[in-house]
Structure 1
Amino acid sequence: MASFTIVGGGIAGASTAYHLASSGHQVTVYDRADTGQATDASAGIICPWVSQRRNKKWYRLVKESAKYYPDFIARLQEETGLDTGYRREGSISLFKDDHIQSLAYDRIRSKQPDAPEMGEVRMVSREEVKRMHPHLTGLYPGVFVEGGGQVKGASLLKALRAGFLKHGGQWITADFDAEKAEGTVIYATGAWGIEQDTDPKIRHQRSEVLHFRLKDGNNENHTPVVMALGPIYIVEMGMNQYAIGTTHEDTESFSAEPSEENYEYLRGLAHRYFPDSEIEDVKMMVGLKPYTRDFLPFLGHIEKDVFVINGMGATGLTASPLVGREVARHLNGEGTTLDISDYSYI
């Protein structure tokens, strides 16, 4: 049995802690619960196959992560009895016209042989989009991916923490005191990684999400997640409530106060995509998402007995469960699915 000290209790830190503790190690997590933690603000879409990013290392990470999710969630929920908000109702990617829809279908469908967990992939007409998502606009055709899913970040974190504690871990809600560190120290500090003043260099973006309710909604069935035009997503949160986001703003600020400008922007999008519904605001949420070089997460030792997990960015909720497993295996000296050296680029 080895000892590990994890600094940062977001999804990446909590997943690593959970997987290490379930392997029988002595693990302590320090988490300050800073306002603006990306986990709390994210709506959590699990559908990496529709991305147009061409970074093969990034795609390998998120593809394997989506594959791991169902078994991981089943194990975690069985151990804790807690609901993570994870479900797979599929995803609909919208496109502005039929030509672009056809090109996108070919691109997305080409990934299926290497990722059978995608399930069925098919083009859907404007009318079918409306049947699948009754309150959504019918202006755009789409591509449906059966394996697309979603998870609630805050609920997943709660379950990970419960599972970690069940396996004998210690969770301390306080700042980390390096003099109390035991064994290998793992920094999973997200946007606050700048405080370590070491490589990899961390920068962050403010991302804002609007939660709203359809006052005239009567949809009793779950709907697919929606990848709308541009970098916009729409996620059903239950009880005729939805989240729409996200904005991306490079910043050095750690303020988690919503901005009026982004509120107006997101509310305008809500009216655009739900034009026939009366919309009632629920809340605005702000998350600070960390990025490293080339928008590729960093996983690796920066010195003996000091390991860093950071730069998850918008990939965080998709990739963090698998990252936790892979880092735990790596530190255990076990075989990993990913080549960790691909993400240890210092």
Structure 2
Amino acid sequence: MEKFTIIGGGIAGASLGYHLKQHGHSVTLYDRNDAGNATEASAGIINPWVSQRRNKKWYRLVTKAAEYYPSFISRLERETELETGYTQRGAISLFKDDEVLELGFNRISKKKADAPEMGEVLKLSREEVKQRHPYLNDSYPGVYVEGGAQVKGALLRDALKNAFVSNGGEWIEGEAPAPGDDHVTIYATGAWGVEQDFGPAVRHQRSEVLHFKVEAPEVVHTPVVMALGPIYIVEMGANEFAIGTTHIDTESFDDSPSEENHRYLRGLAERYFPDHAITDIKMMTGFKPYARDHLPFIGYHDDRTFVINGLGATGLTAAPYIGREAARLLSGLPTSLDLDDYSYMEPEN
């Protein structure tokens, strides 16, 4: 049995702690619960197959992570009897016109050969989009991916924390002590990785999300929507939705909502939901960490220091699986992902 200290109680740290306890290790996790942590603010969309990113290492990671999710959630919810907010109602990617739709459908549907967990991939007319999501306008055609899902970050973290503590892990709210020689210290500190005096270099983006309620006589459950541009719309409750997100490179950790971004997101909500009155619930701000080439770092700094960081906008997709794989590596077990691909210290390209 090894002794590990984890610094950071986001999904990556919590998942790693949970999986390390499954291998019988002694694990203490310290979490400051800083305002603006990405776990709280993220929409938790699990739909990596529609991405146009060409980074093969990133794509291997997120698709394996999406494949892992259903069994992971089933086991976690069974162990804890807690909800994680995981739902799999599919995802719709919108396109500006029929010509771009055709290109998008061909690109996305080709990926199913290597990812059967995508389920059905369907080309949707404007009318068919509205049938699947009655609140949306009927301006855009789309591609539907049956395997698309979402998870609520705060609920997932609570379930992981519950399972971790129930299995003998120690979760401490507050600052971690100085690293010692009798254990491995694992830094899963997200945007706050800038406080560390060793690599990888971490930077962050400030992202804001608007939560709102649709005034409607009945409750309709809907798929995730990947709208035009880097915009998503996800269901958060009974006729409640989140729309986002803004992306601003910053060195600040000020999580105060911006009136400018509120107006922008409110305008988008009214544009995509033109036939219903909407009521603001809240704005949320999160800081998403990025490392070299927008590729997560997973690896040793030295033989007593391990780092997981740079998960960016796909943190909630990738983090549970990264926790499993890192726990296996730290336990001396084979991994299904070649983690050497994510353990880099060379300068950014």
Aligned to 1:20: 20
Q: Identify if the C-alpha distance between structure 1 residues 179 and 308 changes in structure 2 by more than 3 Å, giving closer, same or farther.
A: closer
Structure 1 alignment gaps of length 5 or more: none
Aligned to 1:123: 123
Measure the CA separation in 2 of the matches of 1:61 and 1:243.
26
Instruction: Give the residue type in structure 2 aligned to 1:108.
Output: I
Contact persistence 2:179–2:185 (CA under 8 A): no
Aligned to 1:164: 164
Aligned to 1:253: 252
Contact persistence 1:3–1:26 (CA under 8 A): yes
Q: Which whole-Å deviations, capped at 9, do the CAs of 1:258-286 have from their partners, x for residues lacking one?
A: 11111111000000100111110000000
After TM superposition, which residue ranges in structure 1, 4 or more long, deviate above 3 angstroms?
179-182
Measure the CA separation in 1 of the matches of 2:333 and 2:87.
30
Aligned to 1:92: 92
Aligned to 1:313: 312
Pairing 1:207–2:211 present: no
Q: TM-score, normalised by structure 1?
A: 0.98
Measure the CA separation in 2 of the matches of 1:234 and 1:220.
16
Measure the CA separation in 2 of the matches of 1:135 and 1:211.
15
Measure the CA separation in 2 of the matches of 1:78 and 1:181.
37
Pairing 1:329–2:328 present: yes
Question: Any idea what SS the aligned residue of 1:243 has?
Answer: strand
Pairing 1:57–2:57 present: yes
Measure the CA separation in 1 of the matches of 2:344 and 2:206.
25
Pairing 1:301–2:300 present: yes
Instruction: Give the residue type in structure 2 aligned to 1:290.
Output: P
Aligned to 2:277: 278
Q: TM-score, normalised by structure 2?
A: 0.98
Contact persistence 2:220–2:239 (CA under 8 A): no
Measure the CA separation in 1 of the matches of 2:315 and 2:166.
24
Q: Shift in Å at residue 180 of structure 1? A: 6.0
Measure the CA separation in 2 of the matches of 1:218 and 1:239.
11
Contact persistence 2:3–2:27 (CA under 8 A): yes
Contact persistence 1:235–1:243 (CA under 8 A): yes
Aligned to 1:240: 239
Q: Which whole-Å deviations, capped at 9, do the CAs of 1:79-107 have from their partners, x for residues lacking one?
A: 00000000100000000000000100000
Q: Which whole-Å deviations, capped at 9, do the CAs of 1:274-323 have from their partners, x for residues lacking one?
A: 01111100000000000001000000001111000000010100000000
Q: Identify if the C-alpha distance between structure 1 residues 226 and 182 changes in structure 2 by more than 3 Å, giving closer, same or farther.
A: farther
Measure the CA separation in 1 of the matches of 2:116 and 2:344.
30
Matched positions, count = 345
Q: CA RMSD in A?
A: 0.9
Percent of aligned pairs with the same residue? 64
Question: Any idea what SS the aligned residue of 2:274 has?
Answer: coil
Measure the CA separation in 1 of the matches of 2:255 and 2:182.
32
Aligned to 2:74: 74
Instruction: Give the residue type in structure 1 aligned to 2:18.
Output: Y
Contact persistence 1:218–1:240 (CA under 8 A): no
Contact persistence 1:38–1:289 (CA under 8 A): yes
Say which is worse superposed, 173-182 or 85-94, in terms of deviation.
Answer: 173-182
Aligned to 2:107: 107
Q: Identify if the C-alpha distance between structure 1 residues 182 and 247 changes in structure 2 by more than 3 Å, giving closer, same or farther.
A: farther
Instruction: Give the residue type in structure 1 aligned to 2:240.
Output: Q
Alignment of 1:191-206 (within 5 A): 191-206=191-206
Question: Any idea what SS the aligned residue of 1:316 has?
Answer: helix
Pairing 1:134–2:130 present: no
Q: Shift in Å at residue 179 of structure 1? A: 5.0
Q: Identify if the C-alpha distance between structure 1 residues 67 and 108 changes in structure 2 by more than 3 Å, giving closer, same or farther.
A: same
Measure the CA separation in 1 of the matches of 2:180 and 2:265.
44
Contact persistence 1:5–1:182 (CA under 8 A): no
Q: Shift in Å at residue 199 of structure 1? A: 0.8
Q: Which whole-Å deviations, capped at 9, do the CAs of 1:131-162 have from their partners, x for residues lacking one?
A: 11111111000000000000000000000000
Q: Identify if the C-alpha distance between structure 1 residues 307 and 179 changes in structure 2 by more than 3 Å, giving closer, same or farther.
A: closer
Contact persistence 2:92–2:145 (CA under 8 A): yes
Question: Any idea what SS the aligned residue of 2:344 has?
Answer: coil
Question: Any idea what SS the aligned residue of 2:176 has?
Answer: coil
